[in-house]
A and B are shown apart, each in its own frame.
Chain A
């Protein structure tokens, strides 16, 4: 069933977007390190919003603040119209957090049974086991599970209360490809059930595969926002490969060239748009050969987004 859901096209976003979790001018520091800086967020009902960013971007801090576990230094946080720190909205929230160690001697079904008891209207245990894919390991102690199985149990803990808003903090970190695909299809099952999901990840392909909307975070601020397609278009640019008699310095001077790697007369250029650069190259060097234009990889795109931000920050300081 979950595979069928996984292949289903995502429905178009609702015309009226209802924001169920918001932050306004949220700032949070740990000592001298600013984790979030004047952060404004809106999570819309029914969407899967991915927060994408490297370690230390502020993703986990944002999740913890929205859950009411961490307190903001300044700014407003609202979840379902209430301050999450007051502890009243938690019955409608579920969270899969990064955790160093889970009590290992309790069995899977005992963990799920306990967390289910915290919620006013939990799913039947059997249904939680099914959605999380942990039926076959329900009687095993947590300590004996593999990495992927442990993540699925934490996923089960997040969904067992049948919450309306789910926070998944790097749910597939450290998982192999197969376990990651399985987790993805489980996350899609949630969306099909009408849940709102806030996902953090540092894998661009994960955000691309799951999200309706992506926020790219770096150093506590949003550096890009849009649909996966928009983010890719904005960030990715193209990669141009060629052999040329031009010098490295000459190639670097061509407008629109972001970066160049040269190996003798073979060049590899990162560019925003390929056409003007290629035109320029051909004009300047009639011997130009082996021309090849490709889409930049997702990882390059991601790097470009966050590195631009770093460069701007560095320029700002100078």
Chain B
């Protein structure tokens, strides 16, 4: 007997709201757990900014007691920016490139998981790690660098930098959709280390050559660090904050566009 096609669209029951919330929460929780348990990730993303902050912000600044706390405050903003970038680029970009290239993303996409939950989990993990890094840097600056600021200022600094993980997560997403799993970590380092330097995260921009200072305005970390420096009163001639926010917003949209392109491209390909 000839086979007949299944007559009606028989769709499974919709997920209830409470189950949807639980799903997103679990995705975020397990993404975070997964990352915390990878020693190389947890240590490198947290330890590097802490180490550099101690070195550049505390030890090297301690020679001149007059501006010791100024240096420590300045570097708190820029090294914070550096740390947040690493978390977003590695936690989002490299991990996406790996899971996509090794077939795990395909297993998830074959399930009823909403794709947005996957990215929500990664973003939550990046935001959590960013918060941890900022609180650590603040504690170190306060204890050893003579950093003093009102709690509201500190909160604003943390808020700005943690929110700064969003544009760099978008950048990580764009990279994650084009990089191969094995080359992704190298590629991310190749982009983000020079970009950090040129944006004045290591050595303040006013100490860098003029050409580089102009070039920095094209780089997203420059705009994020300027917002952070603004928040702690470390910019001599503050430019309007909106300019930086707009630049970061445009950068985020550009990265999301590239990621969306990669996402569509993936559907025509096979991996693993």
Spell out A's residues near B (CB within 8 Å): 15-20, 22, 30, 35, 42, 44, 60-61, 64, 67-71, 78, 80-82, 87-95, 97-103, 105-106, 110, 113-115, 117-121, 141, 154, 157, 161, 167
Contact = CB atoms under 8 A, between A and B. Distances in A.
Interface residues of B, number: 43
A115 B19 CA distance: 12
Given A67-B110, A81-B6, A97-B272, 10 more contacts: A35-B270, A42-B3, A81-B7, A102-B104, A103-B34, A106-B37, A114-B27, A115-B111, A117-B27, A121-B13
A97 B270 contact: no
Contacts of B43: none
Interface string B104-125: 1011011111000000000000
Contacts of A121: 12-13
Nearest to A31: B269
Contacts of A99: 102-104, 106-107, 272
The interface residues of chain A, by DSSP majority, are classed as mixed
B9 to A, nearest CB: 5
A195 B122 CA distance: 34
A69 B110 contact: yes
Contacts, number: 143
B34 to A, nearest CB: 5
Contact of A110 (B12, B30, B269, B270): B30
A154 B98 CA distance: 18
Given A89-B11, A89-B12, A70 B270 contact: yes
Interface of B: 1, 3-16, 19, 22-23, 26-27, 30, 33-34, 37-38, 98-99, 101-104, 106-107, 109-113, 267-270, 272
Nearest to A106: B34
Given A22-B5, A110-B33, A101 B103 contact: yes
Contacts of A89: 11-12
Contact of A98 (B1, B34, B269, B272): B272
Contacts of B33: 105-106, 110
B267 A70 contact: yes
A119 B11 contact: no
A114 B27 CA distance: 7
Nearest to A21: B6
Top 10 A-B pairs, shortest CB-CB distance: A91-B12, A105-B37, A100-B102, A90-B112, A101-B102, A99-B103, A95-B110, A19-B3, A67-B110, A118-B113
Contacts of A80: 6, 9-11
A132 to B, nearest CB: 15
Contact of A120 (B4, B15, B101): B15
A161 B14 contact: no
Contacts of A67: 110
A113 B38 CA distance: 20
A94 B7 CA distance: 21
Given A90-B112, A101-B102, A157 B34 contact: no
Given A15-B1, A64-B270, A105-B37, A97 B103 contact: yes
Contacts of B7: 81
A97 B9 CA distance: 25
Contacts of B14: 120
Contact of A118 (B9, B111, B269, B270): B111
Most buried by B among A30, A91, A154: A91
Contacts of B12: 89, 91-92, 120-121
30 contacts: A19-B3, A61-B270, A64-B110, A68-B110, A69-B109, A70-B268, A71-B268, A78-B6, A88-B11, A90-B111, A91-B13, A92-B12, A95-B107, A95-B110, A95-B111, A97-B110, A98-B272, A100-B102, A100-B103, A101-B98, A101-B104, A105-B37, A105-B38, A110-B33, A113-B30, A118-B111, A120-B13, A120-B19, A141-B37, A157-B111
Contacts of A161: 111-112
A118 B104 contact: no
Contacts of A70: 267-270
B95 to A, nearest CB: 9
A112 to B, nearest CB: 11
Contacts of B16: 120
A18 B106 contact: no
Contacts of B4: 16-19
Contacts of B8: 81
B140 to A, nearest CB: 28
A160 to B, nearest CB: 9
